Structure 1
Amino acid sequence: MPRKHLIYQDNFNTLLNSDNCWLLLKLMGLLIFINVTASCPLNCYCHNKTGLVQCHFQSLQEVPEDIPHWVQNLSLTGSNITVLRASFFRRNGTNLSNLTTLILTNNNIQVIESKAFLQLPSLTTLDLSYNALSSISNITFAGLSQLQVLKLNHALREPALIHVLNSQWAESLRSLSTLELTGNELPTLPRTVLDIEGLQTIHIGNNSIKRIDEETISELKEKKVQVYLSPNPIVCDCKIRVMLLWIKNTSQTLDAHSLECYAPPNLNGTLVTTLRSDNLKCINEDLETASYVFFGIVLALIGVIFLMVLYLNRRGIKRWLNNFREACRDQMEGYHYRYEQDSDPRRSNASTGI
């Protein structure tokens, strides 16, 4: 073997056996890291190992196009994405089929197009809280068959507030187990959300709910849905009796211990769970109801007595009616006789000759 070749081989072996080998490995790792981070959107944080991508307060107008395909947890907050378009999650051939958590809070989202999330089949958590949603399509959530958690806290505005709660979204969210609707000024618990088959927990605190009606309570019992209800301006009057019994005799209201009365003024701040029937002061209402019932009974008795009087005096009434009829007949015959006398021409001529 030539001497020159032996020298090159010795140098190569020395390189492999020295610390320079670690430098080579570090260089390769750096190249891999650069390759991974190159696909990360500008000014965003990406962590390939955990599948996390965060873009916070970047004043974005839309969802970035260069989101890496390996993302599992995507968080876009503090931007100005007024319209969430259906094309945002399927541009440039990007496949986000691994995405399981999507956080879009505080982005001033006002409109969500139809089937906006159709390209996210693995999504299990969607957070749209703290937006200003005024337009949501009936099929906005189409394709989210795996979605388990949907958060719409402080997010709904008119007319979307009414539209979304009466839309067909229950059909698209069959796997949904948790729904959060806090801070939306809801006047009552929307019964339409109870059409979601798998719903287990609903958060409706910080709304304008005064009470939950008996029909809704019956449906909650039937479907065994747990409710977070506090805080709300609960009116502790006689109409709350059914709701009070439900709260005290069930574990469905998970925050019942903190639920307080808002009205009447003498019960403001009182814990609902400490109320008794005496506190509700239903005596006046009961008396008022009883007075109406008594008044109706009295009127019915008067009517019965009047009919009995008519029945007992039926012969006298019949005789009086016959006499009245005869008197009317005599009177009419008298008028008829006078008319015939006045219309006779011979009597008229005799009167003229005189």
Structure 2
Amino acid sequence: MSRRPARAGGCGGWWPWLGLALLPLAVPPAAAPGGCPSPCYCVATPQLVQCRYEKLEELPKELPLAVHNLSITGSNLSVLPRAAFAARPLPQLRLLRLRHDNIQVVEELALRGLPALQTLDLSHNPLLAVAAGAFAEAPLLRTLQLNQALLAGPVEEQLALALGNLSLRRLELGGNALRALPAALLPAGLEELDLRNNSLQRLVPPELQSLGGPGLRGLRLTLGANPLSCDCALRPFLAWLRAAPARVPDARSLHCSDPPPLRGFTLLRLRPEVLVCSAAGEPGRLETASYVFFGIVLALIAIVFLMVLYLNRRGIKRWLHNLREACRDQMEGYHYRYEQDADPRCTSTISTPGL
């Protein structure tokens, strides 16, 4: 009788310890500080975080403090808000890639909280508005990628203000249908400018002079996949290209798109005398306009000539009548002489005195 309570008491002493051991399994573990947010995943280590094709409408809140590269692709962010990373700064983030995220607006001080950022990729976003101080809190920003990001609206002037105080080394503007060199977007000290797959036909002398200005003398251009027009207006650019081929790393791959006889011809193999001059300005349109103008002038001359003929129809008629009478008299004289020469009697009479 006295041992039963002792056994029950001994068994009851193990239950509290067993409950404490199973408690972590019953309660869901909390997210570890500095771990990956739920819609994203870390590659190898928390230093590389990717959020690919997740329908995010705002930037993830809980990001690892040690992240170096952050990639958010295929979301619907719409706006890169002011101080987007200020609540939880990422002091070691060096590369921020925001591609295909439908970003239309970049607000003031959008990069606050990213003091070590060196590369920002906003490619494939329909940018409509960029604040003047959008990148002001990124003093180490050296590479800005804006490929196919300037097609939705004219934001070149806004970007020029936003890039004015930066120390960029590389700027990518590929696929933006640019027809001229965006000189306003070139901050002093820029070393590489990617203008591939645009709508450039040539670089005109003022643009070439801007490339020789202070701060841009070492700038290298990439111009592949542009519809270069090999006409007379290309001569200044061709001379500049041959004088400094190192400034265009893909110079040997540049080809002519127009005119048809030179289509596909390598640019550096062209001789200046081969480039056809039509007129100053835009060659194709002005050549057509010159033919039209020449036709109009000929039509006016023909109309004036017909009017002169009409106004002098009586004098012309009189002149034609006199000419016809003169021709008739002349023909009658020839006819008379022919008949005299053909009559043998006249011939013998004339020849008798000689006997």
Task: Classify the TM-score, shorter chain.
Answer: 0.5 to 0.7
1:53 aligns with 2:45: no
2:226 corresponds to which of 194, 211, 232: 232
Where do 1:224-303 residues align within 5 Å? 224-250=218-244, 251-282=246-277
Aligned residue identity for 2:110: A
Where do 1:102-251 residues align within 5 Å? 102-165=96-159, 167-174=160-167, 176-194=168-186, 196-222=187-213, 223-250=217-244, 251=246
Asked whether the equivalents of residues 143 and 172 of structure 1 are also in contact (C-alpha less than 8 Å), the reply is no
Aligned residue identity for 2:108: S
Say which structure is richer in helix.
1
Q: In the alignment, which residue of structure 2 is the partner of 1:84?
A: 80
Q: In the alignment, which residue of structure 2 is the partner of 1:74?
A: 70
Identity percentage of aligned residues: 38
Q: 1:85/1:160 Cα in 2 relative to 1: closer, same or farther (>3 Å)?
A: farther
Q: Distance in 2 between matches of 1:122 and 1:178?
A: 17
Question: Deviations for 1:17-67, whole angstroms, at most 9, x for unmatched residues?
Answer: xxxxxxxxxxxxxxxxx9758731113112574611111111111111111
Q: Distance in 2 between matches of 1:228 and 1:151?
A: 14
Q: Distance in 1 between matches of 2:65 and 2:279?
A: 68
Q: Distance in 2 between matches of 1:162 and 1:170?
A: 10
Asked whether the equivalents of residues 130 and 162 of structure 2 are also in contact (C-alpha less than 8 Å), the reply is no
3-state SS of 1:217 partner: helix
Q: Distance in 2 between matches of 1:213 and 1:134?
A: 28
Asked whether the equivalents of residues 36 and 46 of structure 2 are also in contact (C-alpha less than 8 Å), the reply is no
3-state SS of 2:212 partner: helix
Aligned residue identity for 2:256: C
Unaligned runs of 5+ in 1: 1-33, 286-354
Question: Deviations for 1:266-317, whole angstroms, at most 9, x for unmatched residues?
Answer: 21221111111121023887xxxxxxxxxxxxxxxxxxxxxxxxxxxxxxxx
Q: Which moved more, 1:178-187 or 1:42-51?
A: 42-51
Asked whether the equivalents of residues 34 and 64 of structure 2 are also in contact (C-alpha less than 8 Å), the reply is no
3-state SS of 2:261 partner: helix
Aligned residue identity for 1:66: E
Asked whether the equivalents of residues 187 and 208 of structure 1 are also in contact (C-alpha less than 8 Å), the reply is yes
TM-score (norm 1): 0.65
Aligned residue identity for 2:105: V
Q: Distance in 2 between matches of 1:37 and 1:54?
A: 18
Q: Distance in 1 between matches of 2:268 and 2:121?
A: 32
Asked whether the equivalents of residues 136 and 160 of structure 1 are also in contact (C-alpha less than 8 Å), the reply is no
Aligned residue identity for 2:200: I
Q: Distance in 2 between matches of 1:201 and 1:236?
A: 25
- How far apart are residue 72 of structure 1 and its match? 1.2
Question: Deviations for 1:199-251, whole angstroms, at most 9, x for unmatched residues?
Answer: 00000111111111112212323422100011111111111101001112211
Q: Distance in 2 between matches of 1:218 and 1:254?
A: 19
3-state SS of 1:145 partner: coil
Asked whether the equivalents of residues 89 and 119 of structure 1 are also in contact (C-alpha less than 8 Å), the reply is yes
Q: 1:184/1:161 Cα in 2 relative to 1: closer, same or farther (>3 Å)?
A: farther
- How far apart are residue 158 of structure 1 and its match? 4.3
Q: In the alignment, which residue of structure 2 is the partner of 1:39?
A: 35
Where do 1:298-309 residues align within 5 Å? none
3-state SS of 2:72 partner: strand
- How far apart are residue 191 of structure 1 and its match? 0.9
- How far apart are residue 110 of structure 1 and its match? 1.0
- How far apart are residue 162 of structure 1 and its match? 3.0
3-state SS of 2:249 partner: coil
Aligned residue identity for 1:170: L
Alpha carbon RMSD of aligned pairs, Å?
2.2
Q: Distance in 1 between matches of 2:36 and 2:77?
A: 19
Asked whether the equivalents of residues 41 and 67 of structure 1 are also in contact (C-alpha less than 8 Å), the reply is yes
- How far apart are residue 103 of structure 1 and its match? 0.4
3-state SS of 1:242 partner: helix
